[in-house]
Amino acid sequence: MDTKQKEIVQKIAKTIRGLSIEAIEKAKSGHPGLPLGCAELGAYLYAEVLNHNPKNSNWINRDRFVLSAGHGSMLLYSALHLAGFKVSLKEIKFFRQLGSKTPGHPEVHITDGVEATTGPLGHGIGNAVGMAIGMKILKAKFNTDKHKLFENKIYTLAGDGCMMEGAVSEASAIAGHLRLDNLVIIYDANKISLDGPISESTSEDTRARYRAYGFDVFEIDGHDLDAIDATFREIKQKQEKPVLIMANTIIGKGSPHMAGSHKVHGSPLGQEEVLATKKAIDLPKDEFYVPNEVQSFFEEKLKEQKKLEDKWNEDFSSWAKENPKLFEEFKKMQNKTLMPDIEDVLRNIEIKTPIASRESSSVVLNYLADILPFIYSGSADLSSSDKTYLTNYELISFSNFKGRNFKFGVREFAMGTISNGLSLVDTFIPVCGTFLVFSDYMRNAIRLAALSNLQVIYHYTHDSIFLGEDGPTHQAVEQIASLRAIPNLQVIRPADSNEVKMAWLAALTYKGPTALILSRQKLTTLNETNISFEKGLSKGAYIVKEENKNNNKKIDFTFFATGSELEMAIKIADQLEKSHQKNVRVVSFPCFEIFEKQSKEYKDSILKGDIGKRVSIEAGSEMGWHKYIGIDGIAISVNTFGKSAPEARLREEFGFNIESILKRLI
């Protein structure tokens, strides 16, 4: 690194430190320790390493930087502002305020240049692994001998807290297994966590751990620009494996009285210490100061980066002309194109009956994979049981990224974070599967997918106590209600193969995550659900059996049922009418979230009026149902853990047969 380069990167690092501590001080809230401690790393990345174009932050072949240690967001915001992204100085001054584009932790849908929503520690590493896998797939699929379209790298900055999270171990093991030679994890090894020195909570040999995963490991002084430069140049020239850079840093570096202390991790420095720090690092007292040399440097850098993308676009145009079929497939993946008659296509898929909804969903998934090239599927070591394997496609491995199946191993949390990263590449809709009860392992990844509006499809099977003999450890009870509590997550529990088909249409057309809740036991395909998407599942709830309107008799009962319980609800309604002269309406209610988006008029047509005693029937927790059935409604539900027994015995034990339910009603 020549002297001139070194001087400008040092000035950028100083500027990042100044902007960061002042924004945090103005907000009276934030985490100054990481921006102060990682300023050289951030400055070097944005000045020397990242091939991107801040004026087009969505350029697909860009290098991507993910801040896994999201609490250090001012490092990222300062760098994005200096580099020319749409992060103004006004937004820097508005840090952590209502409506700001600089929220406390980075959010991908809010701030230009932010690649992933991070904050819960470790997520960013999983996201970066997913992005790296996605780019390896695009490289294998679309690069030719003549045109090297996809050659980018994914960088992520993690802290000591990230390294302690189990999700990082899971994701790193997968990265090593797949030998991701486009992934670089930078570990801010400052030996401090929020509560104090990490020696109080861990004593692992991180170098040995990552070598065991299959990484190349470098260790450097994270403040030594020559060492940083030498390491990154070596990686760019000959990376063959995923890389961990252990950057030994001083948390809060530059602060005269707080550097090296856990107290600088998550609290503003205070005005006096801000001024003392600026003096110590040779910055003027001017607030939010950006030197002219730094501005000029990035103005010139922007010109270079635009040329980089322009050159790529020329190469892409040439490739597209020479490879029209590949180009057509790429555009389908990029646009996630659905054919205009997708509903008819789905409705015409032949599926036998009776059939478990995990099986009918697998039939639909495999059919869709053949016509939609952006669907990729994976499972946490359960593909033979959750039925997510794409039978016409190979397994993705370190030697074959042309496959479309992932085997995540028994790593549900990593599966969630990696699927989020794959979705963020924006040419994939990832499908990931496990048993519904194990959604608990990946809940925080689901939550961030919902927060980020990521189109991920969760294929959750074994949806109730009726899976039988495996017992309460594997029988879902509270999971459906728990998932319904997550904002923006579309939770669909289809009743049969007709609703399964339309549930897939709902998932493919929703710009956010969807959880498909699927049975292990066989379900009859019902005539009552064989209706259009518009009249049925697109409403979230719809009437499948009308009350008898010819006898001018009031409605005695309205049943609301989901999944495997809908057929039983219809049978009970028939028996009530024939044997007890009751007038009964039955509503299929596959998705609360979709129903809540309907017009007031439609919702009133389902819920309002003299509709008799309201009864919900769902083999899970009753939580959430009383919004629809009222405080006096009857919830036929499971509010205890299950038991190990055959399905038929469980139905008797938990009152989920026609006789037991009739006794509760009559």
Residues annotated as part of the active site: 412
Q: Which residues pair with 615 in a beta bridge?
A: 559, 634
- CB-CB neighbours of 256 under 10 Å: 12
Q: Which H/E stretch holds residue 184?
A: strand 183-189
Secondary structure of residue 431 in the 3-state scheme: strand
Say if residues 156 and 49 touch (Cβ distance below 8 Å): no
Secondary structure of residue 522 in the 3-state scheme: strand
Secondary structure of residue 477 in the 3-state scheme: coil
DSSP annotation of 644: S
Nearest CA among 599, 607, 636, 605 for reference residue 620: 636
What the block records as the tokens of 255 is 């602060």
CA distances from 17 to 31, 52, 282 (A): 12, 23, 11
In degrees and rounded to multiples of 5, residue 656 shows phi and psi of -110, 50
Nearest CA among 407, 406, 526, 471 for reference residue 643: 471
Say if residues 564 and 532 touch (Cβ distance below 8 Å): no
CA distance 632 to 203: 56
Kindly report the three-state secondary structure assignment for every residue of 94-147: CCCCCCCCCCCCCCCCCCCCCCCCCCCCCHHHHHHHHHHHHHHHHHHHHCCCCC
Nearest CA among 108, 293, 132, 262 for reference residue 199: 262
Say if residues 587 and 546 touch (Cβ distance below 8 Å): no
CA distance 458 to 514: 6
Say if residues 189 and 249 touch (Cβ distance below 8 Å): yes
Quick check: bond before 354 cis, omega within 30? yes
CA distance 138 to 338: 20
Single-letter residue type at 71: H
CA distance 119 to 405: 29
Say if residues 569 and 577 touch (Cβ distance below 8 Å): no
List, as one string, the DSSP characters of 52-100.
--TTSTT-TT--EEEESSGGGHHHHHHHHHHHTSS--HHHHHTTTSTT-
- The gap from C-alpha 605 to its chain's centroid, in whole angstroms, comes to 35
